[in-house]
Structure 1
Amino acid sequence: MEQQKHNYKKIAGAVLFVTLLASCIHAALGAIRTPVGYIPKSTDIPGKSDYRLMLLQCLGGLIVMFLPKVIERLCHVDLPHYACISYYVFLYCAIYLGEVHRFYFRVPHWDTILHTYSGGMLAIIGFCLFTLFLPDAMASSPHAPLFAALFAFSFALMAGCLWEVYEYTADGLFGLNMQHYQTAAAVQLTGRGALYDTMKDIIVDALGAAAGAGYGYLLQKRRARAAVEAA
């Protein structure tokens, strides 16, 4: 059973790697072939800046997809297979479906769905990290599940905030519109309108993180009760 789960993890990672690598080539060719100043007639059709963003996201995805392996080797831990697979699924949905296949424009609230999912996913990963690095605390303290949940929530929200910093930096360096501070017609928003996308993302990140941390807390409490009853 454990070997089967490991195979699923390897297959998911291989599919993601090949998909992102092919998408890098597609985005690079699109950026080269698209004339400067070309304005797409529809949001379904990528422009030159869209291809640049696509290439940036795919290259970034190829790098960060190896983050679980880096954590495992540096920290000498084995992350749960379901955590790694859920991470690969998120990258596939966010980059390949979202950017390459334009789901951010074709599917209503796709960005909100992904931010909510990522908040829950990162909270569960944070919970796993807490239990892996502090196993004695989880076994000895009755308050450990609560602190693990707080750590998981904070971990997920920190990752969400760092993502917004990345978007802000990319917008400034490459002239992108990842934070949606301007309309499709390049009209810059002002006031609360310019903050809407960023704040919405952080809020749904927090909601997803709270759900993931709450699930981990309840699961750990149930395991603790089962251990007491078994003893």
Structure 2
Amino acid sequence: MSEINKNNIIDKRKTLVFKVVFVLLALSVVYAVVMLINAPSGVSKKEYEYVKTDYVLMILQCVVGMIVIFLPSRVEQKFGIDIPDIMEIIYFIFLFCAIYLGEVQNFYYRIPFWDMILHAFSAGMLGALGFVIVDFLNHSEKSHIHLSPFFVSLFALCFAVTCGVVWEIYEYTADHILGTNMQKFMTADGTVLSGHATLGDTMKDIIVDLIGALVIVSLGYVHLRKKERRLAEKRLKQAEKVQVVKN
């Protein structure tokens, strides 16, 4: 199979995944709006019972998901950054797992460590995206920047962790304004946590973001170091050939 055919197949799969995730999020918004009308107010009295604030959160998350799902294509169009199709597919799958499965299907409470798994997954994905951004800048004709493997890795790590911190700020803001429970300060049975326990979810997310990004960045650093050595050896051999010709 030719490279062009492979790229066409991957592009079709990317489009299919995009459409499926977008439609599911749109249908979830309609479902949440309908359920919000008759949902009880206040704090949940039963485990896994949805109250009005839960449906408000569901609507918010699905709407945000329907907006940010266009982010890769907008970045490519505006900045000319070529984001690999595989990475875009992974991004769409992440939105599906985080929003549709996590919020709509309540996997955050039903599946142990679901939140931790997604944070590790997203940190690795953002770390890889950081490498893509720097690689674009390093090879851009408009840019005279060429970062060493260490600084490429440092940027990718800072980029991933910063995105994780911004997400926590978003969760805190939503909880404060809308009365939602994104930062999980309340358990599934309605028990409100207090003291040190209330920081558990936020700090755990940030720590997992750091570890997940660090793993991917470390692998990327090793790859870049090997690539730099191969290029250096290639230049050395070319220089030796030129010297032999001159002599």
1:1-231 correspondence runs (5 A): 1-37=6-42, 39-43=44-48, 45-135=49-139, 144-184=148-188, 186-228=190-232
Q: Distance in 2 between matches of 1:225 and 1:4?
A: 34
Question: How far off its partner does 1:123 sit?
Answer: 0.3
RMSD, matched Cα: 2.3
Which runs of 5 or more structure 2 residues have no equivalent in the other structure? 1-5, 236-247
Question: How far off its partner does 1:34 sit?
Answer: 1.6
Q: Which TM-score applies when normalising by structure 2?
A: 0.85
Q: How many pairs were matched up?
A: 229
Question: How far off its partner does 1:226 sit?
Answer: 4.0
Q: Distance in 2 between matches of 1:227 and 1:10?
A: 36
Native 8 Å contact 2:175 2:182 kept in 1: yes
Q: Secondary structure at the match of 1:134?
A: helix
Q: Which TM-score applies when normalising by structure 1?
A: 0.90
Which runs of 5 or more structure 1 residues have no equivalent in the other structure? none
Native 8 Å contact 2:137 2:145 kept in 1: no
Q: Distance in 1 between matches of 2:58 and 2:232?
A: 52
Question: How far off its partner does 1:126 sit?
Answer: 0.8
Question: How far off its partner does 1:85 sit?
Answer: 1.1
Question: How far off its partner does 1:190 sit?
Answer: 2.8
Native 8 Å contact 1:53 1:176 kept in 2: yes
Q: Distance in 2 between matches of 1:185 and 1:7?
A: 43
Summarize deviations over 1:57-76 as a string: whole Å, max 9, x none.
10010011111111111102
Q: Percent identity?
A: 42
Structure 1 pair 2–228 and aligned structure 2 pair: CA distance change class (3 A): farther
Bigger mean CA deviation after superposition, 127-136 or 220-229: 220-229
Q: Which has the greater radius of gyration?
A: 2
Q: Distance in 2 between matches of 1:97 and 1:194?
A: 24
Native 8 Å contact 2:24 2:100 kept in 1: yes
Native 8 Å contact 1:40 1:46 kept in 2: no
Q: Distance in 2 between matches of 1:58 and 1:108?
A: 22
Q: Secondary structure at the match of 1:77?
A: coil
Question: How far off its partner does 1:11 sit?
Answer: 1.4
